[in-house]
Structure 1
């Protein structure tokens, strides 16, 4: 048995014990909050299912806790909500979570809600561009601090370019789509469902795809909340696991929920849900760690983290598998 396995088992046992202690009436613990914040996002199908059916409310009602739902329009927005303590659970890409942690945000990835192909480089229908190399000197829209932004940087680096070789316009995802369709930019680092929508509605095409450059859908929680409220953390993650199972079992209904929530067509929603969303083991582990290790060289080369950041230590600190492991196993 490896030291890593022993450490993981110790952490899981410790978290399970904390949940048990929190359930005892005489346990000394912080006062249970009356309300907590959860985000929902069009790129996180499980969050939409959870909100639609009220399963998080059902899980927290016995604890006397109510939920404030806030919309995240991108990982950058979710990270901002987490940093400001407006939500205690927020939906980001893994890459965005790592950068936020490196830059001082007190978050941990506690659950993986998807493994999507939610981003690619997109050009207009009649664009003459045929390769990433041809982006040199061009205007590209991307949302800073999100998976599409990292996808753009990694794609550029792969062909010997950097962000200095292009003009990046920091636009929120929906605005990036609009800029592409209006001809204000030459390319856009897209995100579903906006990416699927511009393909169907405007004939935009994907200039470059790479599934391995898409990092996981990460549900992150504030570290102070996890430590103070292990029982509530479990309640939220069990509800999330219920929603994840629903999304897997009922893709058509999940597409309908996405279409209703976001105002997109069912055809667009089907592309995101049926073609581009996969559901991995929700416990963040070795595969998630490996995906984020591949992002570290880009963060270092482009000087994206604060001076002195130790990204490998930050990666270790980011991942907390114990809460999901306990929730999924029914512990």
Structure 2
């Protein structure tokens, strides 16, 4: 789990150059606690937490690892903005929305390329297409990929947010509301969505993998500037988890199943069939995906009219920091 001094120095040098934060002193007090999130939508975080690899890595330095549960991107980003997390996981477009609204974060690592959201209706629903959603109650968690997916999906059918009744619920509560008939549709999130599909017969009426933005591992800019070596060690651990998942997919699914309290079949659907772990390095691919998605943030007045989204994307997607840490599989 250790990485070389040369690699750490390379990462630290890249970090300070790419972030360009002259107002932040890079010298910092020794770290005593490292705060990260874990989430059911981030299998690598569950693997890391289960095996204690970060605890082992930082034990010799006297650094405690604190794990904080994120129920959705909105929670992870709120915790980062409040400085109660140092590193947190979210969807890419959700991170951009938060960044554009003032959250000082950067993303030096991609933990997955998932198809983790779709629009879901009960098995016996008469709704068959996006156009059928007009006037309907739809559950979605604000500030997350499923909510932004919903807005983008509606637009493809010529509908706006005002054409539906949005019910703001956290992901797990959205599933309950759908299955109890309190909403007509739900913008779901795996593995909860996969559980509703396999266990309750819920139907996915609209899927579009291009509207599922990537899994971003976000770091507070100040923390990355003052603790680049520690961030590099976390990313190295994430790389270990990613490669372990690729080599042990079923075992990884078992961990997801146990943590999220879903069946192994549900977890396998999420981990094996709906998640790509092959490309962890932030690149032009991720920048272009956010550029394509960004207009919905303006169209729906989720950011200020004068927000410079291209600038926000450029400072969010950190394409340099992890280069010396990642060997693409």
Tell me the residue number matched to 2:138. Answer: 140
Tell me which moved more, 44-53 or 317-326: 317-326
> Which runs of 5 or more structure 2 residues have no equivalent in the other structure?
1-9, 18-25
Tell me the residue number matched to 1:154. Answer: 152
How far does residue 307 in structure 1 lie from its aligned partner after superposition?
A: 4.6
Tell me the residue number matched to 1:112. Answer: 110
* Contact 1:233/1:323 (8 A) holds in 2: no
SS in 1 for 2:326: helix
What root-mean-square deviation, in Å, do the aligned CA atoms of Structure 1 and Structure 2 show?
Answer: 1.8
> Which runs of 5 or more structure 1 residues have no equivalent in the other structure?
1-10, 19-27
Correspondence for 2:316 among 291, 315, 318: 318
Taking the aligned partners of 2:214 and 2:72, their CA distance within structure 1 comes to: 14
SS in 2 for 1:90: strand
How far does residue 56 in structure 1 lie from its aligned partner after superposition?
A: 1.2
How far does residue 62 in structure 1 lie from its aligned partner after superposition?
A: 3.1
2:241 aligned with 1:243: yes
Taking the aligned partners of 1:58 and 1:326, their CA distance within structure 2 comes to: 22
Taking the aligned partners of 2:189 and 2:151, their CA distance within structure 1 comes to: 15
SS in 1 for 2:60: helix
How far does residue 14 in structure 1 lie from its aligned partner after superposition?
A: 3.1
SS in 2 for 1:225: helix
* Contact 1:16/1:326 (8 A) holds in 2: no
Q: Deviations over 1:181-202 (max 9, x none)?
A: 0001110000001111111111
2:38 aligned with 1:34: no
Tell me the residue number matched to 2:13. Answer: 14
* Contact 2:11/2:228 (8 A) holds in 1: no
Tell me the residue number matched to 2:83. Answer: 85
Q: Deviations over 1:237-292 (max 9, x none)?
A: 10111001111111000001111111111111111111111113211111111111
Tell me the residue number matched to 2:288. Answer: 290
How far does residue 310 in structure 1 lie from its aligned partner after superposition?
A: 0.9
Taking the aligned partners of 1:97 and 1:16, their CA distance within structure 2 comes to: 19
* Contact 2:12/2:229 (8 A) holds in 1: no
Q: Deviations over 1:68-125 (max 9, x none)?
A: 1000010000001111111111010000000000000010011001001100000000
